[in-house]
Amino acid sequence: MVNTEQQKESTGLSENDPDFATRFAQAWLAAWNSGDSQNVLDLMMPDCEYTDNGWPTVMRTHEEARVFVEHMLAGFPDVRFELEGAVMTDPGNRRASFTWRMTATHSGTIEPPGLAPTGKSIDVRGFDVQEYVGSRVAKVWIGWDMADLQRQLGVMPPMHSKTERMMAKMNGSKKLFGLLGR
């Protein structure tokens, strides 16, 4: 078990700081912006439960999280996160949430699903909900609009386009055929 002083030394943050959640959010995004997966992992408990709607499984170890972070950085090596607005806290439960903006260029393969580089720039907004133990994150849930990202990369058609309407109709037809037993 790591004591509070050891955690403060390793993260540079003190859980007793009244602005802890804001400072942590800034450090978290700076760790991602560094392009070094270890910097992100250093802010996580070793058994942190990490959920990102862009990844097929919940991560529960540093090694599982490292794979995710490195895939993300490989797909978007110039990724930049920016904090948007205030960090909302629930100090009694050691919980906080914040919104962010991510910009990057898709210059590497995205795994999964194996999407080849498009060279397109992306601009995505999302949010983190985090729970802390000491000065590290113990649980994080990250949400963002995957369809928006896919539209920006040209994988999905533009919103409200004729192609999108046609795809929706085709999806409805599949449901109808399923009901008919075909």
- Residues 83-111: tens digit of each pLDDT: 999 999 987 778 999 999 999 999 999 88
The pTM score is: 0.82
Q: What is the mean pLDDT of residues 63-83?
A: 96
Q: How many CA atoms lie within 13 A of 117 on its CB side?
A: 13
* 122 within 8 A of 95, measured Cβ to Cβ: no
Say which residue the tokens 């003190």 belong to: 14
